């Protein structure tokens, strides 16, 4: 049935016509006569002689073996060489972390009460009552204050327990007062002798007072943490509903202002002046005097490197004498001022002293309030996540800026540094710093989780992206550290684990080799595959189809023959 | 314009003006600071030297010091913070960076400024001494350094990879004072980018590093339009530790710009830069020619009588002085014969040097400063007076070119000419060649012009580090001498390799730049003690870069290859497969081909239509059709 036909049709026609007369008119099953003309043509066709069974079998073997080679060798080789390496990621777990299902952030804060002047029984009762009052007041289960009585025998032991967030010292006095110690995490509460509850009384005004004080002390921390949780996709039942829109807005402002957490910050102090003077300043001594104490306090959370520079002939982007709010954003002359970030991975915080007599006009409402003073002005402004500019007005011919002249700028820088690092604004300094470390660990934990979630979603969304094993490593490390961070939240190790988890998650997410092969257009695939696969596949497929057809025909014929035999 | 009243009075007034900030600084700062102040932490100077053929060499030099203790405490005052941080991060002890453009015409301009120590080959060149324990660590630090500098100077320095980095053995020595200069942890690395085009984006960061930026002092003259329009220019940054014999070590950064300006070209107004012949009355004629008459004119070398001023050439005068600069160093000097008249703007004080070839100017910090150099007066028209200082003859002239033809092999020939009648010149010739130029070291030979045969005895020492394909380039250092008053040809052959498809740059047919050869002429008397006084090199020069043509493929090649091989495979496979699976029968035994069937069908249809149209003539048509078929 497969005939190699001669190419020359004219010659074929001649031979056909000469045979026309000889041919017996047997109706061919292949071509039914359509008209007298075609009938004359097809009538010349002969049935080829029946094929030998061994030939048919050999042909079937040839086709089958070709197909076997293609399917068993070609396809696996193609698959192996073009497949994209995708390491296994624990996608489910990653998404759980991102959705907050894997970890419920809980900050157990231990608060010890020192009541040396109260009898043991009464103190215990006071503690119980205060705890009750606290639990009644608290609507946020993630932030839990737990009271304990520190043994009066060892009052110094407080220092050995680093996980005590605050110590309450109950002292007998004339009236109920509360003062925060400015240097240590200690809340001094004085109470009149009659206010202490007896060992059996069921309620006490002192207990309520202490609970209220505690609550107000930790109110800001609670608000920040609940804001952090709510801005991430933590399920609603874990977080309180008490956040007012205004509070949320102010918190959002604070969060956008503060720098991303990093273990090290580069602080760059620059003296800019638009003219040739001053060209020298006592910045080293000034830093030593005014900034170093705060840096030392922050050292458990951040490291700092400091460098300073003097830049003359640096004209600002705005030349106005009085700077309006809009001018402030273009004051920094980014094109000319050498404020490039420091080399190395850590972010740079810029503190700029600009020598010039420009001032900043505060917004008009404030100006009207202080009508007698005329236009209210200010000297410095904070640029979110970047640093601070201080306008220092000096006599025209000052060549050297002394430590005294730098006092006010550096104090401003210090307070701005605290808000740039995200330190809460209320409370005593030690409390603010311990709060900062808790906020930072919560922040890092949430950020690492959301990075994991993004990575998981990316892996799901882009099927053609390759996932090297280093990414899988990073993810597993992140999850291990996240788990440990979650367990030790609120403690020193918690911050450390959260920090590692965040770094690993970022590294996994920003793996360079993932994006390399992301875009390989389909047209290119067609251009590469089609010229080869087209011409090869057509004979293969046609051969198989024809063989199938022939096989079916043979089967039918065999069945007809069988029927005829039966009839016979 | 010249100062007419007692200059001593003006000098004291000027020094008062200039000193006032300095005294204040000295009073306020610690004793250690005042010492360093007295040693001048910053100075800048511009030296103008008219050259023959109507050109002007302007050398800008800015130098600032910072004490090592202040550097380590990250307190940057004159030293740029950005650069300081990079040096510290990459553990760099000494750094030299060059951006150059154009060719120094030694035949007419003579010896190079700074004896060639402040220039590089065309493109970007840098070398540095890094502190590292191992070679790998040095490589890593070098990579950090090149990448960071690339960002700072907006240059493609990050392309200085291992194939363009060499470790010269003989050609360079540290300029600064290092306590352990020969210690094993000091690594010298040298990288060069001959293809880099130096332009304004490199000048801007360069100016930003200066304490007074480009706003005051001599730097106010620098702008990209003039600098990169010059015939030859080089920007150099040198950072080295300097330890004076008394006192603390300082880190010194020296920035210099040398440029050769074509005075005619620079004086053309910027909005009308097309050269036009001058009007007849402005033509300068050579009156010594016999045919000189009122209507014939043989133009003189117009350069000889050119007058110029700073603002004509640079487009603006100098905007005062930088207040930080050392008042004892005059900001502007000009090297012209003592007989020539130079006018300076009011308030400036002229100081003539005893050698009668140069004079310097001091001027008040607030004033603009301007120099006017009138054309020398022609004395009775025929005597050509000396109007420029005669250029010094360089120690050696060098020229390098390719020899040979074809795309497979080539040769390099360097012509080295010693102009001195009695002094032999000893020097180190260094080439850092790209890996795709595979040199045949056995073909390196020297030949003295005019003498038959090779003179290989001139080559005294060869240091050769062969290339590794795609990993490192060839490094060739040759110590050789050139006898007095003779020309030596140094030649070697090389083979061009074929690159991979992706290794060709976008403009592959332009050719590949081969970095300039560095020639370091050794100082004969090395007995001058240590430190900077005894310079290792007496003179440096660099040849021009070369453009090497490699065989370039047709870049549509990959798809052609795919199509071609696919066609071949498809033909072979299709034929073979068909032979294997098809059955051979007689022509009339097979089924009709699809085409023939279709044709027959069509014919039948046509016949049917015709039959319908002309029923009576149908048989005739059918017969006709049949006839046609059998034909």
Query: Which tops the pLDDT comparison, A21 or A60?
Result: A60
Give yes or no: residues A142 and A282 share one domain: no
Is residue B384 included in any domain, yes or no?
no
pLDDT score, position B377 = 64
Give yes or no: residues B569 and B611 share one domain: no
Query: What CA–CA distances, in Å, run from B243 to A58, B117, B127?
Result: 93, 20, 21
Whether the Cβ atoms of residue A433 and residue A219 lie closer than 8 Å to each other:
no
Boundary of a domain, candidates A218, A239, A256 = A218
Boundary of a domain, candidates A371, A395, A420 = A420
Direct distance between the N- and C-terminal alpha carbons of chain B, in angstroms, rounded to an integer: 113
CB contact under 8 A, A305 and B74: yes
Question: To which H or E segment does residue A509 belong?
Answer: helix A492-509
- Residue A56 pLDDT exceeds 90: no
Exposed / middle / buried, residue A54 (Cβ in 10 Å: 0-12, 13-18, 19+)? exposed
Is residue B593 included in any domain, yes or no?
yes
pLDDT score, position A377 = 66
Exposed / middle / buried, residue A162 (Cβ in 10 Å: 0-12, 13-18, 19+)? exposed
Query: What CA–CA distances, in Å, run from B604 to A40, A168, A179, B619?
Result: 12, 111, 113, 13
Helix (H, G, I), strand (E, B) or coil at A493: helix
How many other β-carbons are positioned within 10 Å of the β-carbon of residue B353?
Answer: 12
Pick from B81, B574, B578: which is nearest to A309 by CB?
B81
Give yes or no: residues A162 and A211 share one domain: yes
Is residue B469 included in any domain, yes or no?
yes
Nearest Cα residue in chain A from B558: A528
pLDDT score, position B545 = 93
Give yes or no: residues A201 and A292 share one domain: no
d(CA B515, CA B191): 10
Give yes or no: residues A199 and A214 share one domain: yes
Domain count for chain A, please give it.
3
CB contact under 8 A, B588 and A527: no
Is residue A140 included in any domain, yes or no?
yes
Instruction: Give me the helices (H) in B450-593, please.
Output: 557-581
Assign residue A105 a region (left: φ > 0; alpha: ψ between -120 and 50; beta: otherwise): beta
Whether the Cβ atoms of residue B490 and residue B478 lie closer than 8 Å to each other:
yes
- Residue A407 pLDDT exceeds 80: yes
Average pLDDT over residues A275-293: 86
CB contact under 8 A, B562 and A528: yes
Cis amide leading into B225 (omega within 30): no
Whether the Cβ atoms of residue B352 and residue B375 lie closer than 8 Å to each other:
no
Domain span holding position A414:
265-420
Give yes or no: residues B194 and B238 share one domain: yes
d(CA A350, CA B626): 99
Is residue A224 included in any domain, yes or no?
no
Give yes or no: residues B183 and B132 share one domain: yes
User: Smallest CA–CA separation between B562 and chain A, in Å?
Assistant: 7
- Of the listed ranges A408-417, A515-524, B547-556, the one predicted with least confidence: A515-524
Mutate to test the interface with B, among A281, A532, A541 (most CBs of B within 10 A): A532
User: Smallest CA–CA separation between B184 and chain A, in Å?
Assistant: 27
Question: To which H or E segment does residue B237 belong?
Answer: strand B232-242
% of chain A residues with pLDDT over 90 = 5
Is residue A551 included in any domain, yes or no?
no
% of chain A residues with pLDDT over 70 = 80
Give yes or no: residues B468 and B608 share one domain: no
Nearest Cα residue in chain A from B86: A343
Give yes or no: residues B28 and B135 share one domain: yes
Query: Which tops the pLDDT comparison, A277 or A409?
Result: A409
Give yes or no: residues A368 and A485 share one domain: no
**Residues of chain B under the 50 pLDDT cut:** 1-39, 380-383, 527-534, 618, 620-631
Query: What CA–CA distances, in Å, run from A126 to A135, A195, A206, A209, B405?
Result: 14, 11, 8, 11, 102
d(CA A517, CA A511): 12
Listed residue (B259, B357, B264) closest to B306, CA to CA: B264
Give yes or no: residues A178 and A166 share one domain: yes
Is residue A73 included in any domain, yes or no?
no
| Cβ partners under 8 Å of residue A393, min gap 6 | A355, A356, A357, A359
Is residue B260 included in any domain, yes or no?
yes
Give yes or no: residues A294 and A362 share one domain: yes
| Cβ partners under 8 Å of residue B343, min gap 6 | B1, B2, B371, B372, B373, B374
- Residue A207 pLDDT exceeds 80: no
Give yes or no: residues A275 and A167 share one domain: no
Whether the Cβ atoms of residue B437 and residue B501 lie closer than 8 Å to each other:
no
Domain span holding position B139:
7-273+301-373
Give yes or no: residues B36 and B160 share one domain: yes
User: Smallest CA–CA separation between A313 and chain B, in Å?
Assistant: 6
Question: To which H or E segment does residue A351 belong?
Answer: strand A348-355
Q: What residues of B are in contact with residue A4 (Cβ under 8 Å)? A: 582, 584, 590
Query: Using alpha carbons only, how large is chain B's radius of gyration in Å?
Result: 36
d(CA B52, CA B55): 6
Give yes or no: residues A214 and A112 share one domain: yes
Bridge pairing between strands A264-273 and A348-355: parallel
Give yes or no: residues B573 and B596 share one domain: no
Nearest Cα residue in chain A from B625: A37
Give yes or no: residues B522 and B570 share one domain: no
Is residue B2 included in any domain, yes or no?
no
Give yes or no: residues A433 and A401 share one domain: no
B414, B419, B425, B430: CA torsion to nearest 10: -20
pLDDT score, position A158 = 44
Direct distance between the N- and C-terminal alpha carbons of chain A, in angstroms, rounded to an integer: 29
Q: Is A308 on the interface with B (CB under 8 A)?
A: yes
Chains A and B: how many Cβ contacts under 8 Å? 196
Query: Using alpha carbons only, how large is chain A's radius of gyration in Å?
Result: 42
Q: What residues of B are in contact with residue A283 (Cβ under 8 Å)? A: 75
Is residue B33 included in any domain, yes or no?
yes
Give yes or no: residues A363 and A497 share one domain: no
User: Smallest CA–CA separation between B607 and chain A, in Å?
Assistant: 9
Domain count for chain B, please give it.
4
Is residue A460 included in any domain, yes or no?
yes
CB contact under 8 A, B590 and A2: yes
Q: What residues of B are in contact with residue A531 (Cβ under 8 Å)? A: 562-563, 566-567, 570
Is the alpha carbon torsion for B176, B178, B183, B184 positive or negative? Answer: negative
ipTM, interface predicted TM-score of the complex: 0.74
Is residue B295 included in any domain, yes or no?
no
Tell me the longest C-alpha to C-alpha distance in chain A: 140
Pick from A1, A59, A343: which is nearest to B85 by CB?
A343
Give yes or no: residues B566 and B614 share one domain: no
Instruction: Give me the helices (H) in A50-183, please.
Output: 53-68, 75-82, 91-99, 120-137
Give yes or no: residues A278 and A400 share one domain: yes
Angle at A241 between CA A239 and CA A244, to 5 degrees: 125
d(CA A84, CA A44): 59
Nearest Cα residue in chain B from A276: B323
Q: What CATH number is attached to the domain comprising A189?
A: 3.40.50
User: Smallest CA–CA separation between A26 and chain B, in Å?
Assistant: 13
Is residue B123 included in any domain, yes or no?
yes
pLDDT score, position B63 = 92
Give yes or no: residues B361 and B434 share one domain: no
Whether the Cβ atoms of residue B523 and residue B534 lie closer than 8 Å to each other:
yes
Is residue A290 included in any domain, yes or no?
yes
DSSP strand E in A176-319: where?
177-180, 186-191, 264-273, 280-281, 303-311
Query: What CA–CA distances, in Å, run from B533 to B5, B172, B178, B310?
Result: 40, 16, 14, 34
Q: pLDDT tens digit string along B553-611?
A: 887 777 788 888 888 888 898 888 888 888 787 877 777 677 778 888 889 899 888 88
pLDDT score, position A9 = 41
Q: Which of A45-49, A287-291, A463-467 has the highest mean pLDDT?
A: A287-291
Q: Which of A99-108, A399-408, B269-278 has the highest mean pLDDT?
A: A399-408
Q: Which of residues 336-395 of A touch B (CB under 8 A)?
A: 336, 338, 340, 342-344
Give yes or no: residues B127 and B19 share one domain: yes
CB contact under 8 A, A532 and B565: yes
pLDDT bin (cut points 50, 70, 90) of residue A5 is very low
Is residue A214 included in any domain, yes or no?
yes
Give yes or no: residues B468 and B489 share one domain: yes
> b or e along A289-319 (b: 16 or more beta carbons within 10 Å of the residue's beta carbon)?
ebbeebbeebeebbebebbbbbbbbbbbebe
Boundary of a domain, candidates A218, A246, A274 = A218
Q: pLDDT tens digit string along B175-226?
A: 888 876 667 788 999 999 999 989 889 999 999 899 888 888 899 999 888 8
């Amino acid at each position: 049935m497969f005939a190699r036909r001669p190419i020359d049709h004219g010659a074929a026609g001649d031979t056909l016509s000469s045979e026309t007369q000889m041919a017996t008119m047997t109706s061919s099953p292949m071509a039914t006569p359509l008209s007298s003309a075609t009938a004359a043509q097809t009538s010349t066709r002969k049935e080829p002689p029946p094929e030998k069974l061994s030939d048919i079998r050999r042909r079937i073997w040839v086709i089958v073996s070709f197909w076997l080679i293609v399917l068993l060798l070609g396809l696996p080789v193609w698959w192996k060489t073009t497949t994209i390496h995708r390491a296994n990621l624990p996608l489910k777990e990653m998404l759980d972390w991102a959705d907050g299902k894997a970890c419920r952030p809980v900050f157990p804060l231990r608060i010890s009460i020192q009541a040396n002047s109260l009898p043991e029984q009464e103190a215990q009762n006071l503690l119980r009552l205060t705890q009750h009052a606290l639990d009644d007041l608290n609507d946020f289960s993630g932030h839990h204050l737990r009271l304990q009585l520190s043994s009066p025998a060892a009052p110094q032991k407080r220092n050995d327990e680093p996980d005590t967030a605050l110590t309450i010292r109950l002292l007998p006095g004339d009236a109920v007062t509360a003062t925060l110690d400015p240097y240590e995490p200690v809340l001094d509460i004085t109470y009149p002798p009659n206010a202490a509850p007896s060992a059996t009384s069921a309620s006490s005004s002192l207990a309520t007072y202490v609970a209220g004080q505690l609550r107000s002390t930790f109110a800001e921390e609670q608000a920040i943490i609940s804001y952090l949780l709510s801005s991430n996709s933590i399920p609603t039942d874990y977080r309180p509903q008490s956040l007012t829109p205004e509070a949320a807005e102010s918190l959002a402002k604070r969060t956008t202002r503060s720098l991303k957490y990093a273990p090290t910050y580069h602080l760059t102090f620059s003296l800019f002046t638009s003219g040739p003077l001053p060209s020298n300043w006592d910045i080293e001594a000034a830093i030593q005097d005014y900034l170093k104490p705060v840096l030392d306090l922050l050292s458990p959370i951040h490291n700092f490197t400091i460098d300073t520079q003097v830049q003359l002939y640096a004209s600002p982007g705005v030349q106005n004498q009085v700077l309006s709010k809009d001018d402030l954003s273009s004051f920094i002359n980014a094109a000319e001022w050498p404020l490039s970030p420091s080399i190395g991975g850590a972010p740079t915080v810029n503190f700029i002293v600009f020598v010039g007599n420009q001032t900043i006009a505060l917004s008009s409402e404030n100006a009207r309030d202080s009508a007698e003073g005329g236009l209210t002005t200010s000297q410095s402004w904070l640029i979110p996540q970047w640093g601070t500019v201080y306008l220092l007005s000096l006599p025209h011919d000052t060549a050297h800026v002394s430590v005294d002249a730098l006092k006010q700028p550096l104090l401003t820088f210090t307070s701005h540094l605290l808000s740039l690092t995200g330190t809460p604004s209320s409370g005593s300094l030690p409390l603010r710093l311990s709060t900062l470390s808790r906020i930072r660990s919560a922040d890092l934990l949430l950020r690492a989780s959301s990075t994991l979630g993004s990575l998981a979603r990316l892996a799901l969304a882009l099927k053609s992206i390759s996932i090297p094993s280093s990414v899988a490593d990073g993810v597993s490390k992140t999850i291990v550290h996240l788990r440990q961070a979650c367990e030790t939240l609120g403690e020193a190790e918690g911050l450390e684990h959260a920090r590692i988890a965040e770094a690993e998650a970022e590294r996994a997410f920003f793996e360079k080799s993932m994006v390399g092969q992301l875009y390989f257009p389909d047209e290119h695939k067609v251009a590469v595959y089609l010229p080869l696969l087209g011409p090869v596949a057509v004979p293969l497929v046609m051969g198989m189809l024809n063989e199938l057809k022939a096989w079916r025909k043979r089967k039918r014929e065999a069945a007809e023959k069988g029927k005829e035999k039966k009839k016979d | 314009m010249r100062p007419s009243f007692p200059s001593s009075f003006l000098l004291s007034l000027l020094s008062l003006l200039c000193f006032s900030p300095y005294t204040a600084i000295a009073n306020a700062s610690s004793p250690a600071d005042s010492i360093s102040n007295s040693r001048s932490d910053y100075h800048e100077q511009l030296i103008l030297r008219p050259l023959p053929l109507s050109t002007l060499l302007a050398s800008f030099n800015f130098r600032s010091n910072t004490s090592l203790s202040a550097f380590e405490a990250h307190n940057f005052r004159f030293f740029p913070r950005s650069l300081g941080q990079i040096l510290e991060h990459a553990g760099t002890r000494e750094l030299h960076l060059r951006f150059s453009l154009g060719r120094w015409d030694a035949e007419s301009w003579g010896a190079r400024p700074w004896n060639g120590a402040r220039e590089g080959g065309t493109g970007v060149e840098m070398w540095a001494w890094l502190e590292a324990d191992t070679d790998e660590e040095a490589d890593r630090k070098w990579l950090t350094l090149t990448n960071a500098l690339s960002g700072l100077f907006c240059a493609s320095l990050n392309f200085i990879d291992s194939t363009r980095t060499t470790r010269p053995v003989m050609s360079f020595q540290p300029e600064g004072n290092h306590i352990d200069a020969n210690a094993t942890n000091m690594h010298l690395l040298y990288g060069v980018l001959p293809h880099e085009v130096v332009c304004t984006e490199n000048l801007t960061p360069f100016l930003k590093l200066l304490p007074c930026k480009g706003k005051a002092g001599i730097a106010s003259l620098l702008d990209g339009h003039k600098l990169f329009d010059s015939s030859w220019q080089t920007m150099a940054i040198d950072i080295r530790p300097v330890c004076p014999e008394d006192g603390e070590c300082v880190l010194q950064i020296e920035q210099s710009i040398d440029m050769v300006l074509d005075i005619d070209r620079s004086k053309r107004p910027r909005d009308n830069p097309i050269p036009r012949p001058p009007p007849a009355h402005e033509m300068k004629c050579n009156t010594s020619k016999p045919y000189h008459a009122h209507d014939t004119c043989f133009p003189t070398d117009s350069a000889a009588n050119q007058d110029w001023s700073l603002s004509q050439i640079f487009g603006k005068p100098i905007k005062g002085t930088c207040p930080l600069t050392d008042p004892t160093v005059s900001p502007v000097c000009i090297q012209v014969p003592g007989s020539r008249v130079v006018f300076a703007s009011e308030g400036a004080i002229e100081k003539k040097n005893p050698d009668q070839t140069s004079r310097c100017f001091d001027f008040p910090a607030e004033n603009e400063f301007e120099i006017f150099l009138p054309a020398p007066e022609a004395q009775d028209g025929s005597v050509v007076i000396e109007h420029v200082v005669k250029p010094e003859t360089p120690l050696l002239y060098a020229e390098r070119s390719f020899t040979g033809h074809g795309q497979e092999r080539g040769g390099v020939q360097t012509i080295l000419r010693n102009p001195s009648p009695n002094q032999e010149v000893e020097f180190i010739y260094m080439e850092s060649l790209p890996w795709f130029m595979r040199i045949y070291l056995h073909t390196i030979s020297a030949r003295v012009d005019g003498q038959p045969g090779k003179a290989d005895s001139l080559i005294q020492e060869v240091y050769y580090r062969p290339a590794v394909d795609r990993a490192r380039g060839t490094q060739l250092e040759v110590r050789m001498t050139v006898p007095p008053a003779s020309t030596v040809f140094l030649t070697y052959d090389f083979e061009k390799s074929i690159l991979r498809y992706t290794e060709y740059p976008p403009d592959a047919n332009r050719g590949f730049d081969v970095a300039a050869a560095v020639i370091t002429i050794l100082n004969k008397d090395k007995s001058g003690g240590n430190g900077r006084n005894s310079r290792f090199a007496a003179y440096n020069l660099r040849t021009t870069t070369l453009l090497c043509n490699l065989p370039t493929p047709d870049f549509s090649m990959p798809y052609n290859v795919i199509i071609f091989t696919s066609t071949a495979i498809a033909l072979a496979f299709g034929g073979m497969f068909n032979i294997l699976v098809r059955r051979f029968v007689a022509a009339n035994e097979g089924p009709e081909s699809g085409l023939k069937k279709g044709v027959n069908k069509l014919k039948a249809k046509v016949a049917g239509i015709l039959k319908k149209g002309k029923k009576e003539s149908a048989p005739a048509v059918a017969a006709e059709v049949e006839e046609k078929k059998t034909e």
